[in-house]
């Protein structure tokens, strides 16, 4: 997972904010990652921290190894320094905060995806990690579809025309093919939802198409049905052109992926362990928290 897929603010990603304590263990300041996860108010973010602490305890891990209370000096406008509440967080603590954060925040959704893949990679094969990524992308694509539908309604698209509006985006991106034509070309059963049979690459491209269309409808102040439909098709064409410029596979030529429900069932049978082993269990204590190795005394010579 690259830093480009991790939330970032002010040019700094989650990994850029990592620090080291006196034990040599990595940690993150809760105050630093608060805006990274989309929280404006410390009070609301601290609630997510406390929920994460409860999850830590319930998972059988020592909360003190992952959440350490700390003070953070803040300099005011006149140079006055005020010490505010902060927490030093292990990587596992940050993962739990993302899982207990507000899922309506896009930053939280992005962080959940990042940490889910990172946590799974520690115990699952690359094939399973790919399953996790695809499932998360499918969930996000479903949210973007809802958001785009809302934007289309605000742009003047009536209910009877919603199918035509969404098909326009597909036609622009898939070289003139609409939803049903794409499924026929790929051999996807008519009863299946098209996005349920997309792989991670195809899902990510369609998610980009939907987010860019939503933003363009708002930015251009589109208020007529036909213009909204044309805007969606044009954005689809631009995404297709970008794929072609970088030498990617045209989306209509990407083979159908395994049904997403099969992926969900497989992942449910391989639940991640939350009880950590080795250095991960020590969290903020690092190597200092690991028990010393016992060396048996030498036997006397006989």
Tens digits of residue pLDDT in 114-150 = 776 665 555 555 677 788 889 999 999 999 999 999 9
- Let me know whether 196 and 253 are in one domain: yes
User: Is residue 158 domain-resident?
Assistant: yes
Does 119 share its domain with 141?
no
Q: Are residue 93 and residue 12 in the same domain, yes or no?
A: yes
Where is pLDDT greater, at 155 or 299? 155
Measure the CA–CA gap between 168 and 234, rounded to whole angstroms.
9
Residue 80: helix, strand or coil by DSSP?
coil
Is residue 79 in a domain? yes
Residue 244 sits in the same domain as residue 162:
yes
Number of H helices, E strands in the chain: 11, 6
* Whether 201 and 226 share a structural domain: yes
Q: Look up the pTM and report it.
A: 0.54
Residue 201, CA atoms < 13 Å, CB-side half-sphere: 11
242-264 pLDDT, tens digit each = 999 999 999 999 999 999 999 99
Q: How far apart are CA 52 and CA 41, in angstroms?
A: 17
- Structural contact between residues 100 and 30, judged by C-beta atoms closer than 8 angstroms: no
Distance CA 125, CA 290 (A): 27
pLDDT score recorded for residue 70 = 86
Task: Please check whether residues 137 and 260 belong to one and the same domain.
Answer: yes
pLDDT value at residue 115: 75
User: 3-state class of 87 per DSSP?
Assistant: strand
Number of domains in the chain: 2
pLDDT of res. 279: 62
119 and 157 housed in the same domain: no
149 & 250 share domain: yes
Of residues 233, 239, 181, 237, the one with CA closest to residue 207? 239
Domain assignment present for 297: no
- Residue 281 within any structural domain of the chain: yes
The pLDDT value recorded for residue 231 is 98
- Check residue 120 and give its pLDDT: 55
Domain that holds residue 41: 3-104+115-123+273-289
Strands 19-20 and 12-13, by their bridges, are unpaired
DSSP-assigned letter for residue 160: G
Residues 251 and 132 in one domain: yes
Q: Does 165 reside within a domain?
A: yes
d(CA 229, CA 164): 7
Residues 257 and 282 reside in one and the same domain: no
Asked whether residue 301 is domain-assigned, the answer is no
Q: What percent of the chain has pLDDT over 90?
A: 55
The pair of structure tokens assigned to 228 is 């909204």
Q: Dig out the tokens for 160 from the structure.
A: 């009877």
Task: Report whether pLDDT(301) > 60.
Answer: no
Report residue 38 as tokens. Answer: 């989309």
Q: How far is CA 66 from the centre of its chain?
A: 22
Classify 242 as helix, strand or coil: helix
Give the pLDDT confidence score for residue 143 in this predicted structure: 94
The DSSP call for residue 250 is: P
CA 220/CA 53 separation, integer angstroms? 45
Q: For residues 134 and 256, state if they share a domain.
A: yes
pLDDT digits (tens, 9 = 90+) for 183-228: 999 999 999 999 999 999 999 999 999 999 999 999 999 999 999 9
Phi, psi of 215 (to 5 degrees): -70, -35
Would 60 be classed as within a structural domain? yes
Tell me the three state secondary structure of residue 183: helix
Residue 82 counted as domain residue = yes
Does the structure show a pLDDT above 70 at 293? Answer: no
| pLDDT of 5 strictly over 70 | no
Q: Do 85 and 39 share a structural domain?
A: yes
Averaged pLDDT score across all residues of the chain: 84
* Residue 299 confidence (pLDDT): 30
Angle at 99 between CA 96 and CA 105, to 5 degrees: 130
| Angstrom distance (rounded) from CA 34 to CA 44 | 10
Q: Please give the backbone phi and psi of residue 235, each rounded to the nearest 5 degrees, phi first.
A: -65, -40
């Amino acid at each position: 997972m690259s830093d480009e897929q991790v939330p970032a603010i002010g040019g700094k990603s989650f990994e850029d904010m990592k620090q080291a304590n006196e034990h040599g263990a990595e940690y993150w300041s809760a105050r630093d990652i608060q805006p990274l996860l989309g929280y404006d108010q410390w009070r609301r973010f601290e609630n997510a921290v406390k929920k994460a602490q409860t999850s830590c305890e319930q998972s059988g891990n020592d909360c003190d190894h992952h959440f350490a209370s700390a003070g953070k000096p803040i300099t005011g406008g006149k140079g006055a320094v005020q010490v505010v509440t902060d927490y030093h967080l292990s990587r596992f603590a940050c993962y739990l905060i993302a899982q207990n954060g507000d899922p309506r925040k896009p930053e939280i959704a992005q962080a959940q995806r990042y940490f889910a893949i990172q946590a799974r990679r520690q115990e699952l094969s690359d094939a399973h990690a790919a399953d996790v990524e695809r499932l998360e992308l499918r969930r996000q694509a479903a949210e973007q579809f809802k958001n785009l539908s809302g934007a289309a309604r605000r742009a003047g698209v009536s209910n009877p025309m919603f199918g035509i509006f969404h098909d326009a985006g597909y036609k622009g991106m898939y070289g003139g093919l609409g939803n049903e034509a794409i499924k026929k070309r790929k051999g996807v059963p008519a009863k299946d939802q098209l996005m349920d049979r997309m792989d991670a690459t195809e899902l990510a491209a369609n998610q980009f198409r939907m987010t860019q269309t939503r933003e363009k409808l708002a930015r251009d102040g589109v208020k007529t049905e036909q213009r909204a439909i044309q805007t969606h098709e044009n954005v689809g064409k631009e995404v297709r052109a970008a794929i072609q410029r970088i030498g990617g596979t045209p989306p209509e030529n990407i083979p159908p992926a395994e049904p997403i429900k099969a992926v969900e069932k497989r992942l449910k049978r391989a639940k991640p362990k939350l009880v950590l082993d080795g250095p991960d269990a020590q969290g903020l204590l690092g190597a200092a928290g690991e028990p010393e190795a016992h060396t048996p005394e030498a036997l006397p010579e006989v």
